Structure 1
């Protein structure tokens, strides 16, 4: 049942990104172009996500356990490490250059396979490089 729920959740997430236009790198770059032809679309997508999560977090404390899982998996760490800050900075730079982040990158495979495949391959390459350097 868990794989089916994961597939359904991922499909809904990907469809939302596609409908919201977040699989179009030009739209994301337009949002990041504050001094040029600014496109506020991404702000509305983020705002919609914040509203959904705010509502969800109101229900979580009253639930004994999640519907499709045994326990809640809530992060316990709240410290900022140089590794976290550096990774966030690299993520932001890559997002600004490519106009894609992992979710929209995978969703874009269905719309623009070649460009998205290059992004996804580079993303996996970077993940592999990190694993090699951490050992």
Structure 2
């Protein structure tokens, strides 16, 4: 049953991204272009998402546990450190250059637009590289010697 709810949640999220225009990198880039063809409509999408999350969290935190889990999976750390800031900066730079963040990039994949076909593999390579760096602190293979 958990897989069904996960699929339905992803479907609703993906449809929301497509309907809101987030799967269109031109719309995102126009929102970021304050001095040119600025399109403020994305601010309404973000405002709606913020309001929905605000209300949703207030309702969820009233429960002892999530519906499909034994307990909430809450991060242990609240530190604002270099990895967090670096990740946020890389995310923002990628969003600004490509016009995508990860969710909309996946929803735009069926359109086979050249920008999507470049962005998605680059994003996956960056995720792989980040995981390798985090796991070992370097890029050497497990069998490599210094």
Question: TM over 0.5, yes or no?
Answer: yes
Map of 1:12-91 to 2, 5 A cutoff?
A: 12-91=12-91
In 1, Cα distance between equivalents of 2:75 and 2:35: 36
In 2, Cα distance between equivalents of 1:19 and 1:94: 22
In 2, Cα distance between equivalents of 1:16 and 1:94: 21
Q: Which has the larger radius of gyration?
A: 2
Kept after mapping to 1: 8 A contact 2:98/2:115? no
Match of 1:93 in 2: 93
Residue 58 of structure 1 deviates from its aligned partner by 1.7
In 2, Cα distance between equivalents of 1:63 and 1:74: 14
Aligned residues: 135
Residue 54 of structure 1 deviates from its aligned partner by 1.1
In structure 2, the CA distance between the partners of 1:109 and 1:53, relative to structure 1 (3 Å rule), is same
- Say yes or no: does 1:8 pair with 2:17: no
In 1, Cα distance between equivalents of 2:20 and 2:116: 17
In 2, Cα distance between equivalents of 1:18 and 1:46: 14
CA RMSD of aligned residues (A): 1.5
User: Which structure would you say has the larger RCO, counting Cα contacts within 8 Å and 6 or more residues apart?
Assistant: 1
In 1, Cα distance between equivalents of 2:50 and 2:34: 22
- SS where residue 79 of structure 2 aligns? coil
In structure 2, the CA distance between the partners of 1:52 and 1:80, relative to structure 1 (3 Å rule), is same
- After TM superposition, the score normalised by the length of structure 2 is 0.85
